[in-house]
Amino acid sequence: MRVLDLFSGIGGFSLGLERAGMQTVAFCEIDPFARAVLAKHWPEVPCHDDIRTLTADWLAEMGLWPDVICGGFPCQDISYAGKGAGLAGERSGLWREYARLIGEIRPRYVIVENVAALLGRGLGDVLGDLAALGYDAEWHCIPASAVGAPHRRDRIWVVAYPKGKRCGKEGQYRERHTVRVAGGCEALADAYLPRLALGKSIASHYGPERTSVVGGGWWDAEPDVGRVANGVSARVDRLRCLGNAVVPQIPEIIGRSIMRITP
């Protein structure tokens, strides 16, 4: 499975998907500091600098045709911390470029990540655009605490695939990971269920169940990252990139499920 990683940041998506057995063939990232991080850890993988100029023709010429497109498009206009412009905003509106590339490339799978506020600030448009391109989709909100991280980072994850192609090997429906809830289980990838709550965890076939260490309050443990960085440019860049990154364990779980059901 060859991956095109859009809005790559410092490579959290690719780290998780490569753990699942996929291969990143190209990045697209505009931020110079994040591009330097990608170049350090993936020195052989080309990185395009602007999604607005990235095309299927360029990928074909470079021999980089992907099976999977992934990426968390900018959330600034969607987040409740912003002004709420949604997909009409200049930054979150880059979803349209993401959708353009899906239409040009027609990948086997699309994985999209964004803040949970997308539920009320544009998810219908995202799903509508995917449907117009001929893709079905499943989505769910999964906080980082569900995979054992000591913080919330509640995010929505969308997995899309060509319409009618939901079945995998031997015609079986895609395997669904479950959420362990008070001794029982709930389906993870079910758009009709409420979001995965704090205090719940993902039970996976690929290792021990990871239990959330976060309850309903503030963090139980503070990550070892300094919060005061005035005047220290490198530290500011590091904190910003960490804040924008996805937790790799979640794309890893998604990637392993895709790998299991794909011939």
pLDDT band of residue 144 (cuts 50, 70, 90) is confident
55-94: pLDDT as tens digits: 999 999 999 999 999 999 999 999 888 788 899 999 999 9
pLDDT higher than threshold 70 for residue 123: yes
Q: Name the token pair of 124.
A: 């219908």
Model pLDDT, residue 202: 57
Which contacts qualify for 87-94: CB closer than 8 Å, 24 or more apart? 87/121, 87/122, 87/125, 87/126, 92/122, 94/7, 94/51, 94/52
Catalytic residue among 75, 141, 167, 185: 75
Domains of the chain plus CATH, in order, are: 2-261 (3.40.50.150)
* pLDDT reported for residue 191: 41
- 262 pLDDT band, cuts 50/70/90, is confident
Mean pLDDT of the 139-145 span: 88
Give the position of tokens 């979150």: 92
> pTM for this structure?
0.79
Choose the weakest-confidence range: 50-54, 73-77, 191-195, 252-256: 191-195
Told to judge if 28 belongs to the known catalytic residues of this protein, a careful annotator would answer no
At 165, the pLDDT band (50, 70, 90 cuts) reads low
